[in-house]
């Protein structure tokens, strides 16, 4: 079946985002820094903001639990933009090639509703997307099947008769790609830009 649209995850595919980029400036020791990110400002804690919790509530509740780390906890969102190092050039090149080939493009990202506007304002390639489903805005998060259904609804607003198997979803997290596959989409686990290009080419897309 012909692929009619491609849906992109953002972090790890199009964006180089990592708390390490900020906390290397704040905690010089590798072991101490990793302990802080594994035990205080954890990925699980950040994911709750991606799912819709406000940054203010998240910061306040974590400081209440760990008051001795208040300054470092506040830095997480006060200096969040320093975690976003910039675009991943090879991933963006795939996006641009698909755009040039006039393939309809959509976004599906786990991202806080409060921090995503910074990316939208600073990275012009996001204008290539016809629609972007942001987890923090819809208060759903990958790999919950409900967020994929919300994404499909948005795709169908532009391509009303598209079927799930006519969609490709690219994500750097295998669990998220597999969740799309379970719903009938074509899923690509993004391990490298070269491998993703080969898989898109195998699906008949000229990249």
pLDDT digits (tens, 9 = 90+) for 29-81: 999 999 999 999 999 999 999 999 999 999 999 999 999 999 999 999 999 99
If phi over 0 gives left and psi between -120 and 50 gives alpha, with beta otherwise, what is residue 142? beta
DSSP class of 11 = B
Question: Helix, strand or coil for residue 122?
Answer: helix
Give the separation between CA 64 and CA 61, rounded to whole angstroms: 5
Global pTM reads: 0.94
Q: What is the pLDDT confidence band of residue 207, given thresholds at 50, 70 and 90?
A: confident
Question: Which H or E element spans position 189?
Answer: strand 186-189
pLDDT of residue 150 exceeding 90: yes
Tens digit of each residue's pLDDT (9 = 90 or more) over 131-146: 999 999 999 999 999 9
Token pair for 192: 């490298």
Over residues 142-166, the mean pLDDT reads: 97
């Amino acid at each position: 079946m012909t692929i009619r649209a491609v849906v992109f995850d953002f972090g790890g595919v199009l964006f180089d985002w990592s708390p390490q980029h900020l906390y290397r400036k704040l905690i010089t020791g590798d072991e101490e820094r990793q302990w802080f990110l594994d035990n205080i400002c954890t990925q699980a804690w950040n994911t709750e903001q991606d799912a819709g919790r406000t940054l203010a509530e998240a910061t306040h509740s974590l400081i209440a639990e760990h008051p001795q780390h208040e300054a470092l906890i506040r830095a997480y969102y006060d200096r969040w933009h320093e975690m976003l190092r910039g675009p991943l050039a090879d991933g963006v090149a795939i996006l641009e090639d698909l755009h040039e080939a006039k393939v309809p493009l959509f976004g599906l990202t786990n991202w806080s509703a409060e921090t995503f506007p910074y990316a939208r304002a600073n990275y012009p390639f996001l204008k290539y997307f016809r629609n972007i489903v942001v987890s923090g805005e819809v208060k759903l998060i990958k790999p919950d099947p409900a967020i994929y259904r919300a994404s499909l609804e948005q795709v169908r607003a532009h391509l009303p008769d598209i079927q799930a198997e006519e969609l490709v979803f690219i994500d750097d997290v295998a669990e998220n790609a597999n969740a799309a596959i379970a719903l009938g989409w074509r899923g690509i686990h993004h391990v490298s830009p070269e491998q993703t290009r080969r898989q898109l080419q195998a699906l008949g897309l000229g990249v």
